[in-house]
Structure 1
Amino acid sequence: MPRPKGSKNKPKTAEKTTTISTMDYTELIEEKLNEKTQISAEITSITDQLEALKAQLKDKKKTLNSIEKELTKLETRKAEEEAKAEEEAKKIQLESMLQQLLNSGMSTDEILDKLK
């Protein structure tokens, strides 16, 4: 097979390569820089909004925790009051029963025997 003649290191012609003028490069660079500054501004804006929302969330959680604590305190107080009222009702009922038994003519010894 014969060797091809001529140099293989020929410079490429302008027809084969697409060249962009320096003016196009500067325009593209300016556009990209503008996009970059806009996106940077949007990022800082979103970051600021995110920080504000985080602070707001933190405040809401603190408020929720304090309300939950107050709620549990109120529930325990309510339960204590109900227990006291129930004991008082039982005591009144027992006293009325004892009074009825005493009025019916039973002696205290007989009443104590019934309670056992």
Structure 2
Amino acid sequence: MTEATERFFESLPARGPTILRGLVEGTLQIDLEDGQQSEHWLVRMQPGAVRSARERGPADAIWYCRAALFDKLITGEAQGIAAVLRNESTFSGNVVLFLAFRRFFPNPPGTRDPREVARRAAGRLA
């Protein structure tokens, strides 16, 4: 487990109120595999709050991911849905929990909001 992954999970409770504003509620188990070892994180989400713990337990959904890929996800170098579609990670259970959790990942470096780009272009035309 990298220090960046550790810090990511520690930051979730403080970021939960801004990111989880919808009606998402449930528990997501994240299994991170690094060679012969696996680490398990249990993320409990509810509207406006999230708790995480390094443990395994009953979950509404389970997401399996390589630790190296997860490090790329938390830096914005990779995208969660793309990884699942490419079968680089797998998911089972309530897909809404995965879709909500991926909002904790940053955008790729250099990404700009298309609305802001359009506003700037409109300002140059005026």
TM beyond 0.5: no
Higher normalized strand content (fraction of residues): 2
Higher normalized helix content (fraction of residues): 1
Structure ranking higher on relative contact order (CA contacts 8 Å, 6+ apart): 2
Could you say which structure has the larger radius of gyration? 1
TM-score normalised over the length of structure 1: 0.24
